[in-house]
Chain A
Amino acid sequence: MLRFEGATLRRGGRLLFQGLDLELGPGELLQVTGPNGSGKSSLLRLAAGLLSADRGLVERSGAALADDHAALDRELPLGRALQFWNRNIDKSLDALGLAPLAGVPVRLLSSGQLKRATLARVAASGAPLWLLDEPLNGLDADGAGRLPRVIDAHLAAGGAVVAASHQLLAGKWRMLELGQGETA
Chain B
Amino acid sequence: MISALIARDLRRGFTGATWLPIAFFLLVVALMPFAIGPDPRLLGRIGPGVLWIAALTAALLPVERLIEPDRADGVLDQLALQGLANESIGFAKIFAHWLTFGPLLLVAAIPGAALLAMDGRALIATEIALAIGTPGLAALAVAIAAVTSGLPRAGSLAGLLLLPLAVPLLIFGAANALPLEAAVSLVLTAGAPFVTAAAIRASRT
Contact = CB atoms under 8 A, between A and B. Distances in A.
Interface of A: 11, 45, 48-51, 62-65, 67-75, 84-85, 121, 127
The 5 A-B pairs of least Cβ separation, nearest first, read A69-B74, A71-B74, A71-B78, A71-B75, A69-B73
Determine the main DSSP class of B at the interface with A.
helix
Given A50-B77, A69-B74, A71-B73, A85 B82 contact: yes
A64 B80 CA distance: 10
B80 to A, nearest CB: 6
B4 interface: yes
Contacts of A73: 8, 12
B9 to A, nearest CB: 10
B203 to A, nearest CB: 11
Contact of A64 (B4, B81, B205): B81
Size band of the interface chain B makes with A: 10 to 19
Most chain A CB neighbours (cut-off 10 Å) among B12, B73, B81? B81
A74 B82 CA distance: 20
A127 to B, nearest CB: 8
A121 B81 CA distance: 13
16 contacts: A49-B80, A49-B81, A63-B81, A64-B81, A65-B78, A69-B72, A69-B75, A70-B73, A70-B74, A71-B73, A71-B74, A71-B78, A72-B73, A73-B12, A75-B12, A84-B4
Contacts of B83: 62
A50 B75 CA distance: 12
A65 B8 contact: no
A65 B74 CA distance: 10
B121 interface: no
Given A69-B73, A71-B73, A50 B8 contact: no
B15 A69 contact: no
A71 B77 CA distance: 9
